[in-house]
Amino acid sequence: MTGQLIYVVGPSGSGKDSIIQALLERLEVTVMRRVITRPSDSIGEASDSVEPETFEQMEENGMFSMSWHANGLSYGIPFSLDHYLQDGKTVIVNGSREYCEVLHEKYPDALLVLVTVEHELLRQRLEQRNRETIQEIELRLQRNQQFEKRFLANVERWQLPFFILNNSMTLEQTVAQFYEQLEHFQKGSEVMIRNQQSAQKIA
């Protein structure tokens, strides 16, 4: 039995971690813990921190199902992801928009979820974190617009299953929106499977 991979992407400050945690508390899902080359005392998601040299060695030894590099850091998703999917589990990955082409090749049935936030609200959230200068935040916002535009173009070109989750509202509203979108996706998948089965019978 094959499980379902839900690949969540979006800009820093969009609230991906909060959404994923809320889903973990409400759904029977497995959330992959990322391996990241940043200090263990850094503020942010619960992750496993390693030195760049260690990460590189893990990557060479095939210990990651996915790995990418962004914002001066390296990110890895442990190989246990594939075991969970083989066991029929629903697995959530906090991913990267820039990795989607590789994702499409390795996991063509993955469901992509793009978390978006209104521009000014995203700016406020980034400023409240107090991790970057105003100039750095502006550059990040500009990059986000470029990433999002490229991501949407690629999703359309590859015809990937995905939906957009607007997190400009309360967390409860966003989670309710996720349930609704996921239900539409699952119904669409069931119709597609039935159509494929009918076509096979005709053939």
* Chain segment 32-76, per-residue pLDDT in tens: 999 999 875 555 567 899 999 999 999 999 999 999 998 789 999
3-state secondary structure 77-135: EECHHHHHHHCCCEEEEECCHHHHHHHHHHCCCCEEEEEECCHHHHHHHHHHHCCCCHH
pLDDT of 195 strictly over 80: no
Q: Which is more confidently placed, 190 or 191? A: 190
What pairing do the DSSP bridges indicate for beta strands 73-78 and 64-70? antiparallel
Q: Which residues contact 96 (CB under 8 A, 6 or more apart)?
A: 9, 68, 70, 75
Cβ atoms of residues 126 and 40 within 8 Å: no
CA 138 vs. chain centroid, Å, equals 23
pLDDT (0 to 100) of residue 157: 86
Q: Which domain holds residue 71?
A: 4-187
In a domain, 120, yes or no: yes
In a domain, 202, yes or no: no
Q: Which is more confidently placed, 107 or 157? A: 107
In a domain, 198, yes or no: no
- Binning pLDDT at 50, 70 and 90, where does residue 183 land? confident
pLDDT of 192 strictly over 60: no
Number of domains in the chain: 1
- The tally of CA atoms less than 13 A away on the side-chain side of residue 54 is 9
Q: Which helix (H) or strand (E) holds 110?
A: none
pLDDT of 190 strictly over 80: no
**DSSP reduced 3-state for 31:** strand
Q: Which is more confidently placed, 1 or 91? A: 91
In a domain, 200, yes or no: no
**What mean pLDDT value characterizes the chain?**
87
* Chain segment 65-120, per-residue pLDDT in tens: 999 998 789 999 999 999 999 999 999 999 999 898 899 899 999 999 999 999 99
* Chain segment 117-135, per-residue pLDDT in tens: 999 999 999 999 888 899 9
CATH number (domain holding residue 32):
3.40.50.300
In a domain, 203, yes or no: no
In a domain, 192, yes or no: no
* Selection from 4, 14, 47 nearest residue 147 by Cα: 14
Q: Which is more confidently placed, 183 or 67? A: 67
pLDDT (0 to 100) of residue 27: 87
In a domain, 201, yes or no: no
In a domain, 196, yes or no: no
